[in-house]
Amino acid sequence: MAEIQLRNVGKRWGNFVGVDNFDLTIADREFLVLLGPSGCGKTTTMRMIAGLEDASDGEILIDGKVVNDLEPKDRDVAMVFQSYALYPNMNVYENIRFPLKVRGIAPEEHDERVRRASAMVELDEFLHRKPAELSGGQRQRVALARAIVREPNVFLMDEPLSNLDAKLRVSTRAQIKNLSHELAVTTIYVTHDQIEAMTLADRVVVMKQGIVQQVGSPTDIYDMPANTFVASFIGSPAMNLMEGEVQGGTFRTEHVEIPGLSAPDGPMTLGFRAEDAGISEARTGQITAPIYTLELLGDATMISVRVSGALVSVKADKSFRAEIGDMVSFSVPVDICHLFEAESGARLGG
């Protein structure tokens, strides 16, 4: 069992706050993703769990035991970094085996454990090669195997896919997903890529400037973003957000009129997902504007218009044809709209 508790954990450097009041329990065998832009505190949080950074405030517990004063080697965690950090003079077999030698594991166990770990990441035919003879994806798999061979209580993964090209990222992501199911080990995974977060996580923690914005399942965060920051960070494309005014239950801004809303009068930000709206015939929709850009995605056509300085996108059928500058009308059903307070950005009604 490896439940991790972060009790009001914080990290400061002088007056700069890197992580503020992080309070969360990570369940045994849970796959938790820390998601946010560069500088939001996600890697710092992971490094505090690993013991590579000292927490300025709060307590970190692993299996109910406070580990704040324990050395990294005594916390029974294995880390996979963005850089592969392989030993260039050792072949793949020896790179994977190295943690066993360092930790004093009985030599007669080494071969079986190395081969079991390499089989999990499909490296059996590369065990004799040096890192220089491997592709980026293969090197990252060696780093994964080196973490697996330790059989730790906790896996910590810091942007492990960011150095890979798009195709390798997809296949390695699938491998990590399968491994997490097979190994059933508590995993904390740091990324700025919301697709990785949505596909891998049991729960996602969205962070901004050291502060947790929302914690929930990928579905919760996608369907019910807590504020405009989460709405703008999750989704591909991100949620459309339009600043305007509600009067008598009708939201208005340039090119936009959406009646039937249950909301107080005043300034408001209205959001909706590109796939939830549609093209309306004869300019009868709630948004009517000239086309700013068209993108063919293969399975759909993404149409964007400009509304009060913001780009608003809707997914149309792949057969949709038009030119930039043509007028287009979007139908935006009231029940798919999200409302956020204009000043704070918080979701209306919590």
User: pLDDT band at residue 350, thresholds of 50, 70 and 90?
Assistant: low
DSSP 295-312: EE-SSEEEEEEEETTEEE
Confirm whether 48 is domain-assigned: yes
Confirm whether 128 is domain-assigned: yes
Burial 284-295 (b: 16+ CB within 10 A, else e): ebbbbbebbebe
**pLDDT, position 81:** 83
- Kindly state the average pLDDT of the residues 288-301: 94
Confirm whether 40 is domain-assigned: yes
Domain edge (last residue) among 196, 229, 262: 229
Q: What's the token pair of residue 54?
A: 């000292």
265 touches 246 (CB < 8 A): yes
| Cα–Cα distance measured from residue 261 to residue 339, given in angstroms and rounded to the nearest whole number | 9
What's the structural domain count of the chain?
A: 2
pLDDT at 52 over 80: yes
Domain edge (last residue) among 186, 205, 229: 229
Q: Give 183-238 pLDDT, tens digit per residue.
A: 899 999 999 999 999 999 999 999 999 999 999 999 999 999 999 999 999 988 89
Domain edge (last residue) among 229, 261, 293: 229
Confirm whether 349 is domain-assigned: no
Name the CA radius of gyration of the chain, rounded. 24
DSSP 285: S
**pLDDT, position 170:** 87
Q: Give 110-155 pLDDT, tens digit per residue.
A: 999 999 999 888 899 999 999 999 988 889 889 889 988 988 999 9
- State the chain's mean pLDDT as an integer: 93
Q: Give 238-256 pLDDT, tens digit per residue.
A: 999 999 999 999 999 999 9
Instruction: Give Cα 192 distance to the centre of its chain.
Output: 6
- Direct distance between the N- and C-terminal alpha carbons of the chain, in angstroms, rounded to an integer: 34
DSSP 154-177: EEEEESTTTTS-HHHHHHHHHHHH
**pLDDT, position 1:** 63
DSSP 347: B
Same domain, 302 and 210: no
Structural domain range at position 119: 4-229
pLDDT at 179 over 80: yes
Q: Give 104-113 pLDDT, tens digit per residue.
A: 899 999 999 9
Q: What are phi and psi of 307, to 5 degrees?
A: -130, 115
Confirm whether 348 is domain-assigned: no
Confirm whether 258 is domain-assigned: yes
Q: What are phi and psi of 42, to 5 degrees?
A: -70, -45
- Kindly state the average pLDDT of the residues 314-336: 94
Alpha carbon of 90 to those of 44, 80, 100, 246, 347: distances in Å?
30, 18, 15, 66, 53
Confirm whether 29 is domain-assigned: yes
| Cα–Cα distance measured from residue 47 to residue 35, given in angstroms and rounded to the nearest whole number | 15
